[in-house]
Amino acid sequence: MAQKLNLVVDQGTSFFTSFTVNDDGGSPIDFTGYTGTAQMRKYYTSSNSISFTVNANNTGGVTLSLSSNATANLVAGRYVYDVEMVAPANTTSRIVEGIVTVTPQVTR
């Protein structure tokens, strides 16, 4: 079951967040050899998406990032997102999901 984590992205700035994913016993998951993907969309059914850069390590650490150019093109408001990891055995798990709130930029 995916962890819930809501994010706030400031329009026009570089975005970076990190979190740790643990197994049911509380131990960090070793993501060696895994491939991560993450997208945000205005609605679950939206055809347009924005992809995060995903990096994971062997101590359960996962980072998500967006460039300032990517966030500058976002319309302020509420979005949904999730993060999926594909194991070397080609099984896919959703590890995190939630809401992204994009705050509007004033300085341009």
Mean pLDDT, the chain, whole residue set: 95
Hey, what domains does the chain have and what are their CATH numbers? Answer: 3-103 (2.60.40.10)
Angle at 87 between CA 83 and CA 91, to 5 degrees: 85
Residue 12 has pLDDT above 90, yes or no: yes
Cα–Cα distance, 15 to 70 (Å, whole number): 9
| Mean pLDDT to the nearest integer, 7-33 | 95
pTM for the predicted model, two decimal places: 0.92
pLDDT tens figures, 34-77: 999 999 999 999 999 999 999 999 999 999 999 999 999 999 99
Q: Is 15 exposed, middle or buried (0-12, 13-18, 19+ CB in 10 A)?
A: buried
pLDDT of 32: 94
Cα–Cα distance, 61 to 77 (Å, whole number): 28
